């Protein structure tokens, strides 16, 4: 079946630190991969996506590369800001069912 596993949080970093949030997936077929961000009290916002192997998605300084050989889609940012504090969800769009499968979410807290 399809599943997404994210590193457990919360992740606490100081401002300007390097961020990595690990995400691995299990899927049949060739899914598209996404990172969504949810700020406190808000809905989900699309952060970035990749639709095939070796694609790199990027947005607002965040990057993630679709690695088929390691079935991973790790989220990285070189220098985090307090405003990046949020919950980050890794997700795959199943090519078999068309359903979006989410990881459990990782809470990031950035301290000044």
Partner 1 sequence: DTEVTQTPKHLVMGMTNKKSLKCEQHMGHRAMYWYKQKAKKPPELMFVYSYEKLSINESVPSRFSPECPNSSLLNLHLHALQPEDSALYLCASSQEAGAGAKTDTQYFGPGTRLTVL
Contacts with partner 1 by CB under 8 A lie at 30-32, 34, 36, 41-46, 49, 51, 87, 89, 93-100, 102-105, 107
Cα-based angle 60, 37, 92 (whole degrees, multiple of 5): 105
Whole-number minimum distance, CB 84 to partner 1, in Å? Answer: 18
Pick 19 or 89: Cβ nearer partner 1? 89
Cβ of residue 45: shortest distance to partner 1, in angstroms? 7
In the block, tokens 């990172």 appear at 35
Q: Do 73 and 50 touch, CB atoms closer than 8 A?
A: yes
**Min CB(112)–partner 1 separation in Å:** 24
Torsions phi, psi of 78, nearest 5? Answer: -70, -30
């Amino acid at each position: 079946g399809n599943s997404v596993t994210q590193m457990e949080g919360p992740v606490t970093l100081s401002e300007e630190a390097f961020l990595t949030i690990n995400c691995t997936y299990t899927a049949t077929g060739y899914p598209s991969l996404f990172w969504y961000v949810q700020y406190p009290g808000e809905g989900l916002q699309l952060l970035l996506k990749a639709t095939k192997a070796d694609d790199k998605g990027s947005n607002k300084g965040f990057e993630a590369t679709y690695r088929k050989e390691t079935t991973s889609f790790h989220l990285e940012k070189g220098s985090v800001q307090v405003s990046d504090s949020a919950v980050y969800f890794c997700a795959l769009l199943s090519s078999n069912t068309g359903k979006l499968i989410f990881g459990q979410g990782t809470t990031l807290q950035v301290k000044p």
